[in-house]
Amino acid sequence: MGFRISENFGRLMENLVAVELMRRKSYFNADWEIFYWKDHRQREVDFLVKQGPIVKQLIQVVFASGRDEIRKEELDSLLRAGEELRCKDLTLITWDYEDEIEREGRRIRAVPLWEWILAGNR
């Protein structure tokens, strides 16, 4: 028997982000479509927010409190999806880590979950 606390928190965080995205869609952005992205190499992005034909935002959710806790694969997937879908708004929702990560000439905004939720209410 073992405990996978970080995996459970990660899943709970994803569920909370999904509920919040649906709330934002129903209250403010009825024309949003929310998807999950996965490519042929099994790279995944948790949320793809689309408005009409335009991909507005890509969101990856990770339970991390520091840069060293973010797996390279999480960032690679976000960058690849951004490139393939021509989306510049790449967001990494974390537990409490905030930063701007520069990789491959692109910017990924890391924002704590609580801050991301509160920003949606402005």
The string of pLDDT tens digits covering residues 11-36 is 899 999 999 999 999 989 899 999 99
- Strands (DSSP E) contained in the chain are 32-38, 44-51, 54-61, 90-94, 99-103, 106-112
* C-alpha 10, offset from chain centre: 12
Q: How many beta carbons lie within 10 A of that of residue 64, not counting itself?
A: 21
CA distance 55 to 119: 20
Strand, helix or coil for residue 109: strand
Q: Give the predicted TM-score (pTM) of the model.
A: 0.88
The 10s digit of each residue's pLDDT in 63-90 is 988 888 889 999 999 999 999 999 999 9
CA distance 100 to 52: 28
CA distance 52 to 38: 20
